[in-house]
Structure 1
């Protein structure tokens, strides 16, 4: 059927308003399992400190004569004083007055939208920092202080590929934690696929040194799939709903208890696999997440998202580390 001659069509019409949805779609991931599972505590100084302790070795000769008075008293050992420095992370936002005045997709609250977006980005940054292999540093007037990441504190229950090893002093024996500026791990350039034997080795070590089984294994997406592909005898997976993390997870049923396998996109070292007991990991906040209005400069508004925090590893015997995987 032909269009009648002279019909005015949209193809030549110049005054049609644009059809732009008021929704802004963003599919970038922002789940931060380590930050979410870590208990919150308060820091009051730039050097956040805590004590750790341990029981004496088992004494199989502890047999006493009835009514006897002890000839000597036990030598009591003091607690080990640990410490980590507070690190400041922020996200500054500046929007011009004209930008806030014009009509645009996303609604009229452009500052609110940007602050919400930057808060997610800030949490993603912190997730990587908490799992980053670096030592603590007090900083100075020109250098930012840094908080030592989780790998820096894990020494006892560690499994490396050939050539990898812990380096530096055992943090559980060092009152000041890791020495500033010292590399905390010797990673191997040669990596290998994660194996069930390695997972069992880490879990056995954690159980021997803490008497408990870690609740979570935090791994890269690739290692999540590698672990799901375990085929050894006794490998059993069940799917559950973890209400704290609000995600479907797999549970590895080990000889010492069930371990929830959680993929983490934002692991700073994706080849690391962390086995975590959340009762012994905290993030200490000196200044919690907050929005600070900055002085108005010209025709613009500035705000600063800011947080001061330090990683606190209550006792490294409760956790484990498997490194140098191809994940």
Structure 2
């Protein structure tokens, strides 16, 4: 059934666009001629943020950012999201001490590595949209998160439906509305523009 195939393919595309927006979306209230847009993690984190680092990312800096999150929120981060080059840089920090763990939360991501810091165990995730920020310095980006401070809220769960016939073919569409809830942005850090990844 070609229609079912294309609907399934379109649903995957819809979910990828949602994932991109969760990371990179820029909030816009919208009006009569402009659609509203959700703010992603890079947009919502304002307290612990480096807009244009223009320096190499090091293990010392990473631990400093963990400490910064701890100081502003009394919560330790539990996840780090980076692109491929950033993951290779961080893997260099943990050479010989990288551990692998079973994880049930493999959302479009690869194997989970674990970094043991002074602030606890932090999972390292490779994320394909992290360096896709629509701004200057769109590479060398990192998110250091406390994952329980984020939630996806859905006004309308994504659903596919048939559109009215307009000829000898069938049409359909996918409709859904979601947003990112930032429950405590101070418990997170985002950085852009590191020079070595």
TM-score, length of structure 2 as denominator length: 0.87
Q: 1:296 aligns with which of 162, 165, 168?
A: 165
1:202 counterpart = 2:35: no
Q: 1:132 aligns with which of 8, 21, 24?
A: 24
3-state SS of 1:248 partner: coil
Quote the offset at 1:254 in angstroms. Answer: 0.3
Q: Who is 1:261 aligned against?
A: 124
Contact in 2 for aligned 1:283/1:311 (Cα 8 Å): yes
Cα distance between partner residues in 1 of 2:177 and 2:69: 31
Contact in 1 for aligned 2:81/2:125 (Cα 8 Å): yes
How do 1:1-327 residues align onto structure 2 when only pairs under 5 Å count? Answer: 109-132=1-24, 134=26, 136-158=27-49, 160=50, 164=51, 187=52, 191-230=54-93, 236-245=97-106, 247-267=110-130, 268-269=132-133, 270-326=139-195, 327=197
Runs (4+) of structure 1 moved beyond 4 Å? none
Q: How many residues align?
A: 188
Per the alignment, do residues 231 and 314 of structure 1 end up closer, same or farther by CA in structure 2, a change over 3 Å counting?
closer
Mind listing any 5+ residue stretches in structure 1 that lack a counterpart?
Answer: 1-108, 165-186
Bigger helix share: 2
3-state SS of 2:29 partner: coil
Per the alignment, do residues 318 and 325 of structure 1 end up closer, same or farther by CA in structure 2, a change over 3 Å counting?
same
Quote the offset at 1:231 in angstroms. Answer: 6.2
Cα distance between partner residues in 2 of 1:198 and 1:272: 13
3-state SS of 1:300 partner: coil
Q: Who is 2:136 aligned against?
A: none
Contact in 1 for aligned 2:146/2:187 (Cα 8 Å): yes
Cα distance between partner residues in 2 of 1:283 and 1:231: 32
Per the alignment, do residues 305 and 133 of structure 1 end up closer, same or farther by CA in structure 2, a change over 3 Å counting?
closer
User: Larger RCO: Structure 1 or Structure 2 (Cα < 8 Å, ≥ 6 residues apart)?
Assistant: 2
Per the alignment, do residues 231 and 259 of structure 1 end up closer, same or farther by CA in structure 2, a change over 3 Å counting?
closer
After superposition, give the CA deviation of every residue in 1:74-97 in whole Å (9 maximum; x if it has no partner): xxxxxxxxxxxxxxxxxxxxxxxx
TM-score, length of structure 1 as denominator length: 0.54
Q: In angstroms, what is the RMSD of aligned CA positions? A: 2.0
Quote the offset at 1:309 in angstroms. Answer: 1.2
